[in-house]
Amino acid sequence: MTGADNLKIFSDDPAREAFLNHPPGKLILRNSLPAVASMLFMACYHIADAVMVGRSLGPEALASVNILYPILAFFIGLAVMIGVGGNARVAVLQGAGKTIMARRVLGLVVTLGTILGVTGSVIVIFAYPVILDLLGTSGSLGVMAGEYLLTIYPFFTTMILIFVLEQTVRNDGRPNFATGVMMGMAGLNILLDYLFLFRLGMGIGGAALATGLSQTLGAFIFIAYFVYKALKQKAGLRFGIPGGGFITLKMVAFNGSSEFFTSVAAGVTTFLFNRTLLYYLGSDGVAAFAMVQYLMLIGSVVFLGLCTGSQPILSYNHGAGYHDRVKQTLVRLISISSLLGLVFFIILRTQSAAMIVLFIPEHPEAMKLTIEATAFISWTLLIMPISIISSMFFTALEKAGSSLLVAMSRGLVFTVIGLNIFPKYWAETGIWITPIFSEILTLLLVGILIYRWYTQPEISSVRQVVEPLPSIES
């Protein structure tokens, strides 16, 4: 490619110009703040959704949704896999100036997501009774779980596409638009929850319908955005004829495998924690652990928002061979997330009792256990940000093996080891220190992997592999 060709592609694509030329700190701020806002709003929406379901239908209704999680987590994991893996590939291609191929890969990922959604719906249609039997549901709990599943399955395809296309819009340099759509979708879901549950009395099926309709509208807005770009022949990302073949499919699946594993492992480790807590502490222990997870939720989604917003920055510059900018972005992300982790740690250590009262004011034993658990688990906030950022970092650079290793170790292996050793010696205290043990070992692993990446000859010895591309202003 000649310098003139490179300049033409560059000048015609504002997103690529920004990701490759603007200061990394400015890019992180511009792209991560909307993503963090979106994540925080979605977290608040999930809490509000649970409150309305619980208040209108009771705790059994909440349990009926939760009982479906093992099945839904598998499909969510697949959606995350193709969304994260596919968008990382698209952004790397964009960074390398291969816009036509990036559009074809986007078409392939959208097609794959559609096939996955339709397949999931067909499975529910033909295996509905088998699914409920496998989950062990019975009585009124089984009836409500079945009603929720039968209402939500027609929306599987659009629920997958909204996840895939939200990150694609961010890759296209439109983080505020992506955040606006997701916040509008969450607000609509809350409004429909109120209408269907409290005004129309539609039961648990109404909650499922509210989720399906709101996410479908969001998906259609994103689809319309890319269709409009295609019709107007606008620069940057838009739908292309699916291409890339089996090699690209394999790259997408492998690169997103860590996110798939993280989703599935979350269900497995939650089950293991609950089983251990029931043995040592009974239901109050499970309630305490659930409360700690709610208290940690805000910190977790902020770190994930930083990851979502920063992935295009890393992928574009990696694709362009700008290794110094990749390093600068990583250093800034680790610094920002570590500082935020310290802030959340201080808040949780000083305000946990006041926050717990909001959830369970009339259960003193559960409150006592929650405060005890928080005193231990809050320490993970000092370590967790680096692990989360590092897993995303390797995915953005298409270092799928490293990303998967971090996700497997943190999400399952170290947790299983801890739960099988520490409670035998320290009972419930051993349960609470298991997350700390897992995060410390993950931090050591991450340090080794980043050092190995950093000391590669092409990374450590080359300041800039190509001449910086000129900005449009120049």
The 10s digit of each residue's pLDDT in 423-448 is 888 888 888 899 999 999 999 999 99
User: What is the model's pLDDT at position 70?
Assistant: 65
Cβ–Cβ < 8 Å for 160, 115: no
Percent share of the chain, pLDDT over 90: 15
User: What is the model's pLDDT at position 464?
Assistant: 44
Residue 228 has pLDDT above 50, yes or no: yes
User: What is the model's pLDDT at position 268?
Assistant: 74
Secondary structure element (H or E) that encloses residue 292, with its range: helix 283-320
Cβ–Cβ < 8 Å for 398, 89: yes
| pLDDT classification of 11: cutoffs 50, 70, 90 | very low
User: What is the model's pLDDT at position 388?
Assistant: 87
> Which residues, at least 6 apart from 272, have a Cβ–Cβ distance to it below 8 Å?
415, 416, 419
Cβ–Cβ < 8 Å for 431, 278: no
Residue of 442, 375, 449 lying closest to 411 (CA atoms): 442
How far is 292 from 309, CA to CA, in rounded Å? 26
User: What is the model's pLDDT at position 60?
Assistant: 60
Q: Where is pLDDT greater, at 4 or 222?
A: 222
Residue 360 has pLDDT above 60, yes or no: no
Per DSSP, 241 falls in state: -
pTM (2 d.p.): 0.69
b/e map of 90-112 (b: 16 or more CB within 10 Å)?
Answer: bbbbbbbbbbebbbbbbbbbbeb
Q: Where is pLDDT greater, at 363 or 332?
A: 332
CA 461 vs CA 23, 28, 178, 323: distances in Å: 22, 25, 38, 10
Residue 366 has pLDDT above 90, yes or no: no
Two tokens, residue 72: 């839904």
Stretch among 112-121, 219-228, 263-272, 297-306 having the lowest mean pLDDT: 263-272
Beta-carbon count within 10 A of 425 CB: 8
b/e map of 331-345 (b: 16 or more CB within 10 Å)?
Answer: ebbbebbbebbeebb
Q: Where is pLDDT greater, at 321 or 188?
A: 188
Cβ–Cβ < 8 Å for 157, 12: no
User: What is the model's pLDDT at position 114?
Assistant: 93
Stretch among 68-77, 162-171, 328-337, 377-386 having the lowest mean pLDDT: 68-77
Helix axes 364-377, 283-320, angle to 10 degrees: 30
How many residues in total does the chain contain?
474
| pLDDT classification of 59: cutoffs 50, 70, 90 | low
Tell me the average pLDDT across 89-116.
87
Rg (CA), the chain: 23
Residue of 32, 18, 380, 375 lying closest to 175 (CA atoms): 32
User: What is the model's pLDDT at position 358?
Assistant: 61
Residue 223 has pLDDT above 80, yes or no: yes
> Which residues, at least 6 apart from 27, have a Cβ–Cβ distance to it below 8 Å?
18, 19, 310, 313, 329
| pLDDT classification of 195: cutoffs 50, 70, 90 | very high
User: What is the model's pLDDT at position 9?
Assistant: 38
Residue of 469, 322, 288, 308 lying closest to 393 (CA atoms): 308
Residue 7 has pLDDT above 50, yes or no: no
Angle at 273 (CA atoms; ends 271, 279), nearest 5 degrees: 105
Residue 58 region, left (φ>0) first, then alpha (ψ -120 to 50), else beta?
left
User: What is the model's pLDDT at position 65?
Assistant: 67
CA 392, 397, 400, 403 torsion: positive or negative? negative
CA 115 vs CA 162, 223, 261: distances in Å: 14, 16, 20
Residue 220 has pLDDT above 90, yes or no: yes
- On average, the pLDDT of the chain sits at 80
User: What is the model's pLDDT at position 141?
Assistant: 67
For the stretch 264-315, pLDDT in tens is: 777 677 767 777 877 777 766 766 776 677 678 778 888 888 888 888 888 8
| pLDDT classification of 161: cutoffs 50, 70, 90 | very high
User: What is the model's pLDDT at position 222?
Assistant: 94
